[in-house]
Amino acid sequence: MGINTSFCWCFILVLLWFQSQGCLEEERAALLQIKDSMGSYLSSAFSNWYVKECCDWEGVVCDPSHTRIQRIFFPHLRSDDSEPWFPNATLFAEFKDLQELELPGNHIGGFISIQAFRKLKHLRKLNLRDNSIQNGSNLWWGKYLSLYNLDLSGNKLQGNFPDSLCANLFLRELILSRNNLFGSINSCLGNMITPRLLDLSENQFNGSFPSLLISNLTNIESLVLSSNEFQGMISLCVFANLSRLSELDISFNHLEVETEMMSPSCSPSFRLSTLSLGGCNVKKIYPWMFHNITSELWLSNNNLTGPFISNFQNITSKLTILDISDNFLRGTLPEDINLNFSELRHLDLSGNSFNGNLPMFFSDQLQMLDLSNNQFQGEIPYSIKSNMSCLLYLGLSQNNLTGDLFPKNSSLPNLRWLHLNNNRLSGTFPYALSKSMKLRIIDIQNNELSGELSSYLPVLPKLNILILRGNQFEGQLPVKICQMRDLHLLDLSENDLSGDIPDCVDNVTSWLGRSETAVGYLPDGSRNGIVFTTKGRRYIYKAVVLSFLMGVDVSCNRLAGKIPIQMTRLKGIRILNVSNNLLTGQIPSSLGNLVNLESLDLSHNNIFGVLPHELVGLGLLAAFNVSFNNLSGMIPIEHQFGTFESDSYLGNPDLCGHPLQIKCNGSTETPPIYARAEKSVSIMYFAVLICLFFIVICLE
């Protein structure tokens, strides 16, 4: 008993001794030097680095003894506009037991003394994703390490496949996607014997597809070679004997892929979790795909033709994602499509020629449903409106749908993206959307909706985009818009709205340039964009560009009154279009405060007075139109105003100056600021003449 007690006390003392040990002083000092070398970093970074014990610091993980640092994880700590960071590799070499080093998204341009990484004998994982590394030859130190996982995706690597990476025989995961690498990968693949994950997507690798070498990657589990320049015709039989393969993505190359698996050389047990063959000139969907692909099947942008119903009749599939968008499929969809695909979370049939009525039932687990750009007709089934509580994305745009949008008892509580534009839907704005408080996009433009918008439009606090262009809404502009403080795009053009522009527009925080939302407008996999008028032309904006877009378009209505002074405080907006209304009054000089404005259209109104000289301060203005108003006086010619054509000023008979043919004659119609300038010039010339006169007198 005494021996056991003594042993327990000794064990406890040993534990306490280990616990009392802090991280080594040289490692603590190295961490602080790494932090200082970053130069600038986000204010939220290193938030708890004030405590003495560095093993407790954010981004640091020590071994069980709490003495040696084993993992360093510093993700996206430097601001987007910071200068490239060139860390000294000798600082990281201080961590003798380091196993994982992750520095993604820190604007790393390269390393100083990179050979010091050779000292990290225990390093197994290196993550340098989303940095600015350009020189692949600096990766030669890799052959001295026993790395299992290397992620260099989203950098600026150029040239051929880095030979140094081929020499590392231990790599299990190699990710080089989103770089500028090109040439053949054959020589390197021959040396790689143990990879489980190989992702070379979104580069410029070319030549024939390396079928033979890939068939020897017997341990491969995930192979992603999409968005490169590989060429030729291949069969999926190439991959049939890769028994561990779970994910295969060879989409968007220059390949023609044969998907039939009836050849004797093809393994009947060929099964995948994910198969991506987008843009691979696939001509037919075979039944084995619905049985042997257990999760995701991506077949967009191919040459699939004929009625789709024949492909899955009497089939029960476990697919969670099915994308056959942008093909040439036609015919109707079965009413009980949910029986064939009961596990679906994502269904994209857009960009085909399907017709008939929409199916009555889809999987109630669906999160994304995109049936846009087809020829569906009839009403939206009640089951879509009410029995799909998981639905996040609904895309039914550009069909021939009719009837009311959503009845009052509809409920889509998790809906975030709603695209119903370019149909023939009628009725009022669906007040049932007041139950969808997570909505970020509503695009119902070009339908036949009517009624007083202010009576039905709910307040949706997270809404970023509201597009109602080309309907028949009437009544006042809804004051409720002012309560949607994170609106980025508002398009109410081509309706029958009247009254004044609300004075409360400056309550919309995002238009003031103070948006705190991290804009991620469209979900992954969505090909839909937002159509919006900019610089007098209609453009389709995709997700990346949308994050920079801020605009208001209320053109082609019957709005009256003056441009409210509150609108001149919207320093965040880039596009402002109030043309084709009944606005009156003068252009506020404070409109020149909208420093981010790129397109300004005030044409076809009853605006009078002079063009404020303050407008020349709009340095980003690329499109300007004040035609067909009652403006007078001199046109500014400074800065970008010297580039606008006469079309910008037509229909204002009292305007003068370049680029119009009407010359200014110094009459009272000349803007005061220019009159003062001309008067000052005249006084200066007169003073010079007097001085010359007295000089001549003195010389005599």
Q: 489 in helix, strand or coil?
A: strand
Per-residue confidence (pLDDT) for residue 517, from 0 to 100: 55
Per-residue confidence (pLDDT) for residue 387, from 0 to 100: 72
Output the CA–CA distances (angstroms, integers) from residue 222 to 238, 282, 406, in the order listed.
Answer: 15, 21, 43
Residues 259 and 289: beta-carbon distance below 8 Å: yes
Our CA angle for 528, 392, 328, nearest 5°, is 40
Residues 12-63 pLDDT 10s: 434 433 444 568 889 899 999 999 998 888 888 888 888 888 888 999 999 8
| 199 has pLDDT over 70 | yes
Residues 481-527 pLDDT 10s: 999 999 999 999 999 999 999 999 999 999 998 765 545 456 655 66
Q: What string of DSSP letters covers 418-468?
A: EE--SSEEEES--GGGGG-TT--EEE--SSEEEEEHHHHPPP-TT--EEE-
Output the CA–CA distances (angstroms, integers) from residue 683 to 101, 261, 677, 688, 696, in the order listed.
Answer: 72, 92, 10, 9, 20
Rounded-to-integer distance, Cα 88 and Cα 82, Å: 18
Residues 314-327 pLDDT 10s: 778 899 999 999 99
What are 150's strand-pairing partners? 126, 174
Mean pLDDT, the chain, whole residue set: 85
User: Bigger pLDDT: 107 or 80?
Assistant: 107
Per-residue confidence (pLDDT) for residue 322, from 0 to 100: 94
Q: Which stretch, 232-236, 333-337, 371-375, 663-667, has highest mean pLDDT? A: 371-375
Per-residue confidence (pLDDT) for residue 264, from 0 to 100: 64
Residues 567-613 pLDDT 10s: 999 999 999 999 999 999 999 999 999 999 999 999 999 999 999 99
Rounded-to-integer distance, Cα 698 and Cα 383, Å: 101
| 545 has pLDDT over 60 | no
| 535 has pLDDT over 90 | no
Per-residue confidence (pLDDT) for residue 203, from 0 to 100: 94
| 412 has pLDDT over 50 | yes
Q: Residues 6 or more apart from 268 whose CB is under 8 A from it?
A: none
Rounded-to-integer distance, Cα 411 and Cα 154, Å: 41
Per-residue confidence (pLDDT) for residue 81, from 0 to 100: 75
Single pTM value for the model:
0.84
Per-residue confidence (pLDDT) for residue 17, from 0 to 100: 39
Q: Where are the alpha helices (DSSP H) in 296-336?
A: 309-312
Per-residue confidence (pLDDT) for residue 309, from 0 to 100: 67
Confidence of residue 10 (pLDDT cuts 50, 70, 90): very low
Least confident span in 169-173, 424-428, 466-470: 169-173
Buried b (16+ CB within 10 A) or exposed e, 385-419: beebeebbbbbbbbbebeeebbeeebbbeebbbbb
Per-residue confidence (pLDDT) for residue 312, from 0 to 100: 61
Q: Which stretch, 77-81, 445-449, 513-517, 615-619, has highest mean pLDDT? A: 445-449
Residues 182-197 pLDDT 10s: 888 876 776 666 789 9
Q: Which stretch, 260-264, 303-307, 333-337, has highest mean pLDDT? A: 303-307
Residues 636 and 613: beta-carbon distance below 8 Å: yes
Rounded-to-integer distance, Cα 143 and Cα 139, Å: 9
Sign of the Cα pseudo-torsion (468, 469, 473, 478, in order) = positive
| 656 has pLDDT over 50 | yes
Least confident span in 63-67, 163-167, 483-487: 163-167
| 200 has pLDDT over 50 | yes
Residues 362-394 pLDDT 10s: 888 999 999 999 999 999 988 887 778 899 999
Output the CA–CA distances (angstroms, integers) from residue 364 to 152, 387, 564, in the order listed.
Answer: 39, 7, 47
Helical (H) or strand (E) element with 473: strand 472-476
Query: What share of the chain has pLDDT > 70, as a percent?
Result: 84
Taking alpha carbons only, the member of 135, 97, 142, 134 closest to residue 117 is 142
Confidence of residue 353 (pLDDT cuts 50, 70, 90): very high
Q: Which two tokens stand for residue 683?
A: 């006084």
Per-residue confidence (pLDDT) for residue 18, from 0 to 100: 42
Query: What share of the chain has pLDDT > 90, as a percent?
Result: 56
Per-residue confidence (pLDDT) for residue 677, from 0 to 100: 38
Rounded-to-integer distance, Cα 463 and Cα 436, Å: 10
| 217 has pLDDT over 90 | no
Report helix, strand and coil shares of the chain as percent, to nearest 5: 25, 25, 50
Confidence of residue 267 (pLDDT cuts 50, 70, 90): low
Q: What is the mean pLDDT of residues 259-285?
A: 82
Q: What is the mean pLDDT of residues 219-230?
A: 93
Confidence of residue 625 (pLDDT cuts 50, 70, 90): very high
